[in-house]
Structure 1
């Protein structure tokens, strides 16, 4: 809980800064001058394609980093690659501190892409590590509460940002986040002892030796295994509904908020609402539903709620309703769908957990982001109703993916077999 608390507090301190960058109306505050000039010389005004350019850049970086991460987890033991991942992100934050202090041109674009990559990799690594520590029964019992620890951090982060950003500036907020990530490394070193003990008890492959295998094994496993394909499908369309909402929300912020500080404060308010609802569900419902009914209803309830929300938006695309559906979408993902998916990885081997799961949470996730960012750009010319009507179809795809996951996971054993079946 402390690990996830520190991780999400550090991230949510920074998230409103990223959102303000994406909602900026001035390309010069986000992109370097040479990039603006190059696109302008080719007849493209970057301020008209702000989010699309940022999401495309993020997806390209994800593709480039996937084999690097694959090589790291294949060639080095857990005690090495986990601290290295977080140490790299801490070093980046120190670099961004100086970039924001001197107002380096292009810092907005680099920071937006970096923070998006950081969030997906750091959280994916966290849940992969949790599957080393807990078995399936334990995960159903405790993942909701561990998630609540993260939600409290996600609740605290925007509060800190909202109250500090105009007093100390963005650059100093980055150092606060770096300290919290340093505490994550302390938690990793402590938790590693429990992971080793649990692996010995269950006869699992040890994470204290290099995993081996191909650096792109995660993507290969997704192509080969029906359950992983279903998880990838669910993730892709789940990202789609979030991206359509995100882009509409960004359009509203551009229209009504003039400064980076004002839009940062607005996004902090949205995050507080999301995290408040998430915390209530995690404390009161997640454990009960997972332990009593398994992952079926925990995956299907959010999918159907999002489908209903998009139907309502297609009929009446009011700004306040967009905000409400955004809150419901993100809260149901964090409190129900995410813990349900992560319990699946306690029943499979290490390559599934560290390679395939991370590939889904990074490459597939950002592939959905960039795809639906451009789809939104095309649909926005026809108005909000057209965007949300298409979103109904995307939500149906998400519901179908959830149903496929529920069916496919029934073929897994309740616990991973000694020496790692499905490894």
Structure 2
């Protein structure tokens, strides 16, 4: 920002000194069009690049460009000043946004809450010092030479970035240079969104008017400054002081001292109207008292309120929109609407200054006219905002947290309170949760009112939120809820009340004893919820004897409670968890798996792994094993490669490893790609793809992947060779038809594995899009996918894959040319399939051999019966009997 606030006044001062003021509107149009296109192209490139690479290249190109512009300005070329101003507009988009993106990837959400305020203050200080530096040194160095100072600051900023990347614990390996939402929105999606959302129409209209007014005010300010300051040195000094020091000082003061209070007092509608009203009043003063001071006051009013009050109001205005639409809209606004508004403003100025020949003072009236329209639109925005919030509340899809604001809009809060006190229990509970997430909102009076709500869901939410805030005034209500006679329908409220009572009560150990003695599962669950938060409660109450007794209790829910208790008290000296992991009831096993995952005792790993076969508890077993972390990766790898272990267990191991974001997981899964069992290979590959998305910083062994790509390509050609004789025959054999369908399905799976492997070497999303295109045989999508692969793949992979994908009808010739795979007869193909090791493919091939009378394959069928599972053995016996008949 120090560098930017050198460039901004210098670029504008040099332009104003060189050209008449009537050329300024054309510069605005050029910046809107040229800068918009360049910003869009940068975003498209940046989302495919790593952040480190983008920062490095951007810094180098910026420094080189500044040196080049410095040299060209010295040659006295007029067109360079247009280029310089467009460059400065792009500078603010690229380098400043990269700085915030680096911060977003260096700090986690908790650190960001503490440090973003300091970073924002640093940005203000940098801007202020940059402007002051420009004003003070321009008289010594001259405007042109300040470009060299700016280039030096850019290089210093890169030095700071380099130092950050060397800090312990900082990794930017997986960070992209732009948010994916910015690059993924499609212009064609926006018109339909605008047509269906009046709220969105109003937002877009306000933003366009904001930038039209911004351009008209800036034009008048620059015109008056040009008339007042006749030398480029004086003009640069004035603009440096104005933009760097005074504008940032006023903006910081407004944001720090007034914005939150204004939003609380006036709400969204009032906040949005402050900017156009103050602009209208200031513009009227400027019309009657024209001059550089009045126009500077107008510019200061517009810019300061736009960056503070208006920005906060607009963030709140986005609040009720669905998250995906909100992200796409913001990207559309940043790339297109911003520039469109400025471009329209430039065209309006051309009309006013060139066609109508209005003097600069009359531009104030144009500003007032658009501000009045803006006021009307802001009033409409307030009504649409309330209506949209109502609809989103009704559907329980309002996300307060996404607004990222520390202020509370009174209209929104009033709607939430009204909903919380309403008759719809689900909406009321949802509104309570949103109010609890709102900063600086006192929830306690509302909790007091709702403790006697007839709705179970609302009472449960009240106790849950009161427990989270450690608000003890509801203890009597909670005990009344717990001890009164209740049915299964009121169990959620009872559970929440018990948990709350044990959280806030000073006599919690005695209460815990009482609750655990009651024969009520809802009370048990609530008590254990509290114990999981306050472990000290379990010390004297949940003893080894208590756990052992509960683990043997005939009540399933009591045994599940015992498993949860082990997670809190530990398993030292007791064997209860082993028994509970073998329990016949899935509810008990679920609790036991979670307890084992919490304790991370390796003695339970084998029992949990065996539970991967049980579809009822498979998900929780996977989560429990993943909770052990990298420590058991070796053990899981042993299970994965153990051919004696059940396939139903082995094929689920990759699902565990994909949740352990560690290089050991990657290495084990890469080794599994060489497993002869296609099911294992496919499961490992899917897990690697998921890991690549969630942990791109890990190493995915490109050479190993390349070897496997060749293996899968060979498999694809071999399956095609096996399928060929069955495509040509029309003998009506049901087994042969089933075999052909099975081979065809294996071909599709092999093609999917090929692209999944490519996704480990190249950008996954682009490879997936190419896969979808290849699956559309023929047509533009297929052609585009092949063109993409032709440009992306390395030569060795391109030589193997493109012939397979480009000419599916000639795969047999390709297989013979690349791998020496000859065309097979039906009998040869069936023999090879019987020896393939794929159980279902072996069964289909054996059945086809029996039905087609391939007696020479009897020894192979006999061997398959001896070396495979019972299902294949049964088919083999039937086929052998048919051949012997």
TM bucket normalised to smaller = 0.7 to 0.9
3-state DSSP of counterpart to 1:171: coil
After superposition, what is the alpha-carbon deviation per residue over 1:215-243, rounded to whole angstroms, capped at 9, x for unaligned?
Answer: 56264565548687665444322212211
3-state DSSP of counterpart to 2:401: coil
Gaps (5+ residues) in structure 1? 1-7, 28-46, 201-205
| Counterpart selection for 2:13 from 13, 20, 29 | 20
Which residue in 2 is equivalent to 1:309?
A: 279
Instruction: Determine the C-alpha separation between the residues in 2 that align with 1:133 and 1:300.
Output: 37
Distance 1:237 1:88, change over 3 A: farther
Count of residues in Structure 1 that have an aligned counterpart in Structure 2 = 383
Which residue in 1 is equivalent to 2:90?
A: 117
After superposition, what is the alpha-carbon deviation per residue over 1:112-145, rounded to whole angstroms, capped at 9, x for unaligned?
Answer: 1111222233334444555556678876765554
Distance 1:258 1:316, change over 3 A: closer
Which residue in 1 is equivalent to 2:350?
A: 377
Which residue in 1 is equivalent to 2:456?
A: none
- Cα offset, 1:361, TM superposition: 2.9
After superposition, what is the alpha-carbon deviation per residue over 1:9-44, rounded to whole angstroms, capped at 9, x for unaligned?
Answer: 1111111112213433x43xxxxxxxxxxxxxxxxx
Which residue in 1 is equivalent to 2:242?
A: 270
Contact 1:298–1:336, Cα closer than 8 Å, also in 2: no
After superposition, what is the alpha-carbon deviation per residue over 1:54-91, rounded to whole angstroms, capped at 9, x for unaligned?
Answer: 11221221343244223313322333234433433222
Contact 1:16–1:264, Cα closer than 8 Å, also in 2: yes
Which residue in 1 is equivalent to 2:875?
A: none
Which is greater in Rg?
2
| Counterpart selection for 1:207 from 154, 165, 175 | 175
Instruction: Determine the C-alpha separation between the residues in 2 that align with 1:323 and 1:243.
Output: 14
Q: Which has the higher contact order (CA 8 A, sep 6+)?
A: 1
After superposition, what is the alpha-carbon deviation per residue over 1:218-276, rounded to whole angstroms, capped at 9, x for unaligned?
Answer: 64565548687665444322212211111111221232222212222222232222122
Instruction: Determine the C-alpha separation between the residues in 2 that align with 1:405 and 1:191.
Output: 42
Contact 2:271–2:313, Cα closer than 8 Å, also in 1: no
Instruction: Determine the C-alpha separation between the residues in 1 that align with 2:200 and 2:113.
Output: 20
Alignment of 1:78-227 (within 5 A): 78-128=51-101, 130-132=103-105, 143-188=116-161, 207=175, 217=185, 219=187, 222-223=190-191, 224=193
Distance 1:214 1:321, change over 3 A: closer
Instruction: Determine the C-alpha separation between the residues in 1 that align with 2:46 and 2:30.
Output: 24
Q: CA RMSD in A?
A: 4.6
Which range moved further: 133-142 or 73-82?
A: 133-142
Contact 2:14–2:81, Cα closer than 8 Å, also in 1: yes
Instruction: Determine the C-alpha separation between the residues in 2 that align with 1:282 and 1:86.
Output: 30
Gaps (5+ residues) in structure 2? 404-692, 695-885
After superposition, what is the alpha-carbon deviation per residue over 1:117-176, rounded to whole angstroms, capped at 9, x for unaligned?
Answer: 222333344445555566788767655543322121121112111111121122321122
| Counterpart selection for 1:256 from 214, 228, 232 | 228
Distance 1:107 1:198, change over 3 A: closer
Alignment of 1:222-371 (within 5 A): 222-223=190-191, 224=193, 232-271=204-243, 272-285=245-258, 297=267, 301=271, 303-314=273-284, 317=287, 318-319=289-290, 320-338=293-311, 357=330, 359-371=332-344
Instruction: Determine the C-alpha separation between the residues in 2 that align with 1:368 and 1:69.
Output: 20
3-state DSSP of counterpart to 1:114: helix
Instruction: Determine the C-alpha separation between the residues in 1 that align with 2:272 and 2:332.
Output: 23
3-state DSSP of counterpart to 1:89: helix
Instruction: Determine the C-alpha separation between the residues in 2 that align with 1:348 and 1:146.
Output: 29
After superposition, what is the alpha-carbon deviation per residue over 1:331-378, rounded to whole angstroms, capped at 9, x for unaligned?
Answer: 223344447767989x9989977x864553343222211211221333
Distance 1:67 1:392, change over 3 A: closer
Does 2:374 correspond to 1:395? Answer: yes
3-state DSSP of counterpart to 1:49: helix
Which range moved further: 15-24 or 150-159?
A: 15-24
Instruction: Determine the C-alpha separation between the residues in 1 that align with 2:237 and 2:190.
Output: 39
Distance 1:112 1:351, change over 3 A: farther
Distance 1:316 1:398, change over 3 A: same
Instruction: Determine the C-alpha separation between the residues in 2 that align with 1:176 and 1:138.
Output: 33
Which range moved further: 79-88 or 225-234?
A: 225-234
Distance 1:247 1:193, change over 3 A: same
Contact 1:12–1:158, Cα closer than 8 Å, also in 2: yes
Contact 2:39–2:93, Cα closer than 8 Å, also in 1: no
The structure where helix makes up a greater share of residues is 1
